[in-house]
Chain A
Amino acid sequence: MKKIRRSMLFLPGANAAMLSTSFVYKPDSIMFDLEDAVSIKEKDSARLLVAQTLLLPVYREHGIETVVRINALNTPFGLKDLEAVVRAGVDVVRLPMTNSAEDIHELEAHVERIEKECGREVGSTKLMAAIESALGVVNAVSIAKASPRLIGIALAAFDYLVDMQTERGDGTELFYARCAVLHAARVAGIDAFDVVYSNVNDDEGFLKEVSLIKKLGYNGKSLINPRQIELLHNAYAPTAAEVENAQKVVEAAEEGERKGLGVISLNGKMIDAPIIARARKVIELAKYSGVRKEF
């Protein structure tokens, strides 16, 4: 089964308590942040702490993917971060401020060298690109296709909106970027992640945004508070009616197959391969996350 990535929980890399306990919230991925959440003076300590934390078996045991947001490679910290986390066995390296495919190629070359140096299987370190600028959005397709190591691209709003000379509002400001990044991801066959929702006390606003990006087709969202994980997972869980319908579709398909029917219909509507595939996904997701609870 393909890794499901709905929730990517951001954790400040310098915070020992959060780093070692956050697996209990069961996000799909945990992203240890060495970049914006860590002050310049603590870059060294956070790097060591994250590296040691990555060695813990708990994440693998709970099926939680580990992601580290390193500092940009043109800072004094980026390469040091990379040296540490690739050796410590991180699943995915997230590159901030990706503007072009060349940025990914540069990162990839370093990763490959480190993998060889430390004896890690070449290619086993996956990558993720964060798109945080107008240039990055415009180059999204070439970025998304830049490396077979890429598992996804993420839109990050703060710097992008500064670049666009606007600010966070009702979502209109992200309209083009959300569509562009999502299309790029789909063209490349990788996952797409939406921006963080920073007002942790506004569940209603959060859910409204989740509903929007889910409809668009996003795989998931970056999160800054563990409280948001359950809300997000629930919003992504299929409803009981959806599951029921999907089961009927699959049953009808299986029956049609048994009978050797070319065209299958359910309640008078024709069901084709994409509908069957979608139904199988719904059932799979329901097994993984349960059925949506109504609050």
Chain B
Amino acid sequence: MKIKKDAMAGTLESSDLLVKVSPNTGIEIVINSDVNKQFGDQIRTVVDQTLNDLNVTDGLIIIDDKGALDCAIKARVQCAVLRGAEEENLDWSKLL
């Protein structure tokens, strides 16, 4: 799956995150978190796993995390990617 257009999902509210995706060659991930020092690696792992499950091969993924739980990170990344890839047909076995 490739990111075809700019898209966003999520919010900047506490316990949430804002995910921005843009077209790019290859995968590039930038994580900007309130809790980066503590949980940076964990956030990164969730993001990587989520992108991997969706088979995202190209895209710039920018994340502004406000202390979100893993389930919110996963949901927001999925949503931004699906919006940016203009993907309508969801394979729930890969998303859940």
Chain A positions within 8 Å of B, measured between CB atoms, are: 15-17, 19-21, 44-45, 48-49, 51-53, 55-56, 80, 83-84, 87-88, 118
Contact = CB atoms under 8 A, between A and B. Distances in A.
Contact of B92 (A16, A49, A87): A87
28 contacts: A16-B10, A16-B13, A16-B16, A16-B75, A16-B76, A17-B14, A17-B16, A20-B69, A20-B71, A44-B83, A45-B10, A45-B79, A48-B78, A48-B79, A49-B71, A49-B75, A49-B79, A51-B92, A51-B95, A52-B72, A52-B74, A52-B75, A52-B96, A53-B71, A53-B72, A56-B71, A88-B96, A118-B93
Contacts of A49: 71-72, 75-76, 79
B19 to A, nearest CB: 10
Given A16-B75, A16-B76, A88-B96, 4 more contacts: A21-B15, A45-B76, A53-B72, A55-B71
B74 A118 contact: no
Contacts of B32: none
A7 B10 CA distance: 29
Interface residues of B, number: 24
Interface of B: 9-11, 13-17, 68-69, 71-72, 74-76, 78-79, 82-83, 90, 92-93, 95-96
- Overall SS of chain A's interface: helix
Nearest to A21: B15
Contacts of A80: 90
Contacts of B83: 44
A16 B74 contact: no
B15 A20 contact: yes
A49 B68 CA distance: 12
B93 A16 contact: no
Contact of A44 (B14, B72, B74, B82): B82
A16 B9 contact: no
Nearest to B17: A16
A51 B96 contact: yes
Contacts of A56: 69, 71
